Amino acid sequence: MEIAIIAHDGKKAEMIQFLMNFKAHILSKDISIVSTGTTGTNAEKAGFIVKKYLSGPFGGDAQIASRVAEGVTDMVFFFRDPLGKHPHEPDIAMLMRLCDVHNVPLATNPATAELLIKSI
């Protein structure tokens, strides 16, 4: 199973805390993690093996969206900052739309991500 992790700057610490809370669960399953650049770097520092793509504003969100469309990514955890403005908003909207089109579970907050991670 492939899970994509993405977090806006204001949510990166929350993403890493989430991963740490479920580290044993993630490592005990056959789960590979892909990520946008900076989120992936933070996850690596926390001890996770991550396939990193570009930073979100430089096309990373689009790269993850492509994996969703290709049927490679099974689940997306995208901790968004709903109060911030993001120059790559069209890419974010595309990723969310493709998750809906391809019926890929998408969690935009830790509560939903917890329900998804516990389901596998």
Name the pTM for this structure: 0.95
- Which residue pairs, CB below 8 angstroms and at least 24 apart, start in 86-92? 86/8, 86/56, 86/57, 87/57, 88/56, 88/57, 88/61, 91/56, 91/59, 91/61, 91/62, 91/65, 92/56, 92/61
CA-to-CA distance for 35 and 3, rounded, in angstroms?
8
- Which residue pairs, CB below 8 angstroms and at least 24 apart, start in 49-58? 50/5, 56/6, 56/8, 56/86, 56/88, 56/91, 56/92, 57/86, 57/87, 57/88
| pLDDT tens column, 18-39 | 999 999 988 888 899 999 999 9
Residue numbers annotated as active site: 61
Q: Is 88's pLDDT higher than 80?
A: no
CATH number at 84 reads 3.40.50.1380
Do residues 61 and 39 touch, judged by C-beta distance below 8 A?
no
User: Number of structural domains, the chain?
Assistant: 1
Name the residue range of residue 104's domain.
Answer: 2-118
Output the six-digit token pair for 106: 């998408």
| pLDDT tens column, 40-50 | 999 999 999 99
Predicted pLDDT of residue 114: 97
Q: What is the mean pLDDT of the chain?
A: 94
Predicted pLDDT of residue 48: 96
What is the band of 11 on the pLDDT scale with cuts at 50, 70, 90?
A: very high
Predicted pLDDT of residue 90: 87
